[in-house]
Chain A
């Protein structure tokens, strides 16, 4: 697997992520991996020392990671939020909107298609944590 695709100025965090259980058991890890069934809110007491949360997508159809990402961002997490696994180009835009800023897809993505996909929708309908103004805000200033 090559370097993750990142949208952060500080690049990808290099420390390998540990499981949630081992993260909660030790005090010095700064990178953790969340499986789909694990509760992102278990990380909330530790957001300050986390540099990387890797959210696993074993199958792209399992959308729990989208909620995990938003919960972390909504709670003030600013470190790297990485989607890893069955991450496909057609899901990238939604993942970005939920707060993911790096991607480690199992199968490489075509950079040209990534670019087109991310730029496809100019304005979103919903307010999310990604900071883009929702259409209702543009309508009403």
Chain B
């Protein structure tokens, strides 16, 4: 894992003091709420329905046991004993007091963490593949690239007042586990003639106008990457729309002028920017990469597993993924127990996951965009012990990528933008499909719920997506089919008129019945839907 040097630490410490000063000026009245708002947002502090919400950055979703313990400590001391892991691989606390926020940031800084640029119209936390450094299919570890981008984007003087927020994702596998093409800029690391570089996509996003990012550059070498991104951002900063907040994301600019014209402008700007000498030397990349060197794997480990305990076997089948090193595995911890709140974990659970990481996973954890936690490097021989500890803590739900592994936004229970509640609906769907056998029979089925058109719950990318709207004062849910945030990226389509909360659960059940009747061998729900189209589903649901 990356470790701060004195430069990194002093920047984060300075930020804490800056924010302490800004909060003091706000409390004294020297700053108006209008002036304070963008400053607190750039430190992750939102004003929600009931309280302030603090979003803490987990850069590219990677954190240590010590950092995870700190997240538990903050949940206990400053919140109500729990935290909420987000689709941006971060964590949010929903019950924060403004005057305590600087103290929280100070505590985070002691473990090399912060809330810098987790909100605001700036470059947000860089997201990445949760299996980075562990996945069997990666061409390289994407995290050194993500860390390079974290430093470049932190306190960027030119790009802190962009037209709108800006999200960047870096992956390094053909299999996309991070919804890369639904980011403002997506980077897929590829090898060309033995040299590693980035394939660049731009203008993706969800929100009220979902778009899949088109490719704008097939290869950018490592030592050109920052210049290239600087050029891409500058074109956006200068020409992105600022007349309408809903048309201000880069996807609208690229949609309006076309990917080809955007690319032409970026190339022209790049030709200029590249002369300025803003790219760090490769020695800096190497310095960062050294922190992500593979841990000292034990050699000669057995790949055998004793699967005689049937519950353990189910968990292994569903939640454990192949590792790049013999004898090791990637263990997913589902934060989606049946009837629970997707992405929530109690302080005790967070502490337990931290302890397991320290003991069994080279002190590393990952947060996934699907709001789960990963122990990336565990010995297969330790899996049973880990599972027992998770099971005792209510963390061993064996439902990764199944219908109850739901992404849901906080919805109307917390969010001031929401039109409908997401959490109770997620709980109802989980309960309806609670039978593990039934879920496994339905196979991979990514269900995603947003409580408003801003799409924080990624409903456009759901095999089944649900969008909560407000219809004449009542919560109403629209159903969408056929989306994907993976390498088969696609946008889901609304199937017809909306439903009540119970009605939408019934409709999903009918859709899964249609799938079971029509599927061919090995077809997932989304494959069947793509093959047969919407009609058979509509007929069953509305007919």
- Could you list which residues of chain A lie within 8 angstroms of chain B, going by C-beta atoms? 36, 60-64, 66-68, 70, 74, 88, 90-91, 93-95, 97-98, 110, 113, 116-117, 120-129, 134-140
Contact = CB atoms under 8 A, between A and B. Distances in A.
Contacts of A137: 280
Interface string B145-159: 000000110111111
Given A90-B22, A94-B160, A135-B7, A140 B152 contact: no
Interface size class of B (residues with CB under 8 A): 35 or more
A123 B38 contact: no
A64 B238 contact: yes
A58 to B, nearest CB: 11
A120 B16 CA distance: 11
A74 B157 contact: no
B540 interface: no
B536 to A, nearest CB: 49
B195 interface: no
B238 A90 contact: no
Given A120-B17, A124-B155, A140-B284, A62 B161 contact: yes
A67 B234 contact: yes
Given A63-B159, A74-B272, A88-B35, A136 B14 contact: no
Given A61-B121, A62-B242, A64-B237, A125 B11 contact: yes
Contacts of B289: none
9 contacts: A63-B162, A66-B159, A66-B160, A66-B237, A74-B272, A91-B161, A120-B18, A128-B158, A134-B278
B237 A136 contact: no
Nearest 9 CB-CB pairs, A to B?
A63-B161, A97-B157, A136-B280, A94-B157, A127-B278, A136-B284, A135-B7, A66-B158, A125-B151
Given A60-B35, A93-B157, A124-B157, 6 more contacts: A63-B163, A66-B161, A67-B237, A117-B18, A125-B11, A140-B281
B281 A136 contact: yes
A135 B148 CA distance: 12
A139 B284 contact: yes
Interface in B75-123: 121
A113 B30 CA distance: 11
A63 B233 CA distance: 12
Interface string B276-299: 111011011001000000000000
Nearest to B226: A126
B332 to A, nearest CB: 33
Residue among A98, A110, A122 with most chain B CB within 10 A: A122
B465 to A, nearest CB: 32
A64 B234 CA distance: 9
